[in-house]
Every structure is written in C-alpha cells, then in structure tokens.
Structure 1
Amino acid sequence: MRLIDEILSDSNIDRAILQVKRNKGVSGVDKMTVDELDEYFYKHRREIRYSILNKKYKPQSVKRVYIPKPNGKKKTIRYTYSCR
C-alpha cells in the first residue's frame, strides 16, 4: 500500500476528524465549525480524495494567529488548511 493511500484511508480521515473534535478545534479561514466536519466529509470525502490523488487539490490560505511572547516578539500559530 502506498503512503498516500494510507493517509487518505477512511479510517485515517475518521481518526483525524475525531482528534480535531477532541481538541475542540477552531474555525479556519472557511468558518467551518468542528460540528460541521462529519456532514462535510460525508458529502465530499470521495471528491476530496480524488482531487488529492490527481493533484488537483488547491488548499485555501492558512489561518495565522500571532501570540505575544515575554521578550516582546510574537509567535506565529498556523492552523490547518481549509477543506472548502
């Protein structure tokens, strides 16, 4: 089995969604909430998998948050890519 097939397997995607829910993930640039993930992936799983496998997937921008550090600098936190 190729690595990409394992990454895009239903069980791996389901585990990833569950982990985002457990972490109480925040909305990305697409404003999709954690509660919307199940329905979205139920409807679009094949389409997403196909576009990734055929190198057609174009992720949206990454959401960045800047957190002040004690030394006056800022730390950049990047959230995952949007699916929509």
Structure 2
Amino acid sequence: MTSTQLMEQICSSTNLNQALRRVKKNKGCAGVDKLDIAATISVLRQSSNGQALRQSLLDGSYQPQPVLGVEIPKPSGGVRQLGIPTVLDRIVQQAITSVLTDIYEPKFSNSSYGFRPNRSAHHALAAASHYIREGRVM
C-alpha cells in the first residue's frame, strides 16, 4: 500500500466518522482550544469544515494543537501529569490508529501483550502463570 493510499484510507469519510463516534463514546474533556466534543462536532458539521480537515490531512498541512497539561493528584501523594489533546486531534489520532491497527495487529506475536486491543498486563501475567504451571522456561 502506498502512502497516498494509506492517507486516503485514513481520511475516508467512513473512517473519520467512526473515529468521531469512538471519541464521542470515550467522552473526555476539551483541550487547549476549549472545545468539548459537542462543540467540535458542531464546528465539523458547519459548511466545509469536515472537508477542510480531510484535505489538510491529505495535503500534509494539518497541524495538531499543543496538549493541555493537567496535574492529577495521586492517592499515594504527588501528582501525575496528563496531556489532554483537543477533541479534533483525538479524532485524527483515532482515525490513524484504526487503520494502522487493522494493518499491523495481525503481524504481532500472540505472545505480545503491550498496548494491544483486548490485551493487558493481566493477560500477560495469566499467560506467564500458565507457562510456569506447564514447566516451560521463558
């Protein structure tokens, strides 16, 4: 697949609409632009803003916004730094992730658990426990 074909797939109306639905389902707050999900959807539906997003992605002129830095207190003390992208940037990220996941997920080893759909550290631990019970050496 060429980079042009890849970008066409990422920027397809179907993929961008699915990405928007996923971001909407995940909820989340506004980024540095102060636009929440409803406001971002409203902006995208106005005139040609949705088409302008697609075109800026295709021609390489799309520029993500800075992330909003937020400190979340930890129960054990201290703080955890979060970076919150704008809703629009989350839509773009989700559109890219969806296409790349479809391409690369089948290529990963079944023994790989990090940052994969429907897999977690708990699954890795369960697999390791299973291998130990079987007497396998890892």
Q: Using structure 1 for the length normalisation, give the TM-score.
A: 0.74
Tell me how large the CA RMSD over aligned residues is: 2.1
Q: 1:82 to 1:59 in 2, by over 3 A?
A: farther
Q: Matched residue of 1:75: which SS? A: strand
- Partner deviation per Cα, 1:15-73 (whole Å, 9 max, x = no partner): 12112221222111111121123222223111111112112122221112222335645
Residue 40 of structure 2 contacts residue 87 of structure 2 at CA under 8 Å; is this kept in 1?
Answer: no
Q: Which has the larger radius of gyration?
A: 2
Which runs of structure 1 show a deviation greater than 6 angstroms over 4 or more consecutive aligned residues?
none
- The unaligned stretches of length 5 or more in structure 1 are none
Does the aligned pair in 2 maintain the 1:29–1:62 contact within 8 Å?
Answer: yes
Distance 1:74 1:4 in 2: 38
Percent same amino acid among aligned pairs? 34
Identify, as 1 or 2, the structure richer in helix: 2
2:51 equivalent among 46, 55, 61: 46
Give me the TM-score of the superposition, normalised by structure 2.
0.50
Aligned length: 83
- 1:69 match: 74
Provide the rounded CA distance (Å) in 2 between the counterparts of 1:8 and 1:73. 41
- Aligned partner of 1:28 in structure 2 is 31
Distance 2:26 2:87 in 1: 17
* Residues 1:7 and 2:10 aligned together: yes
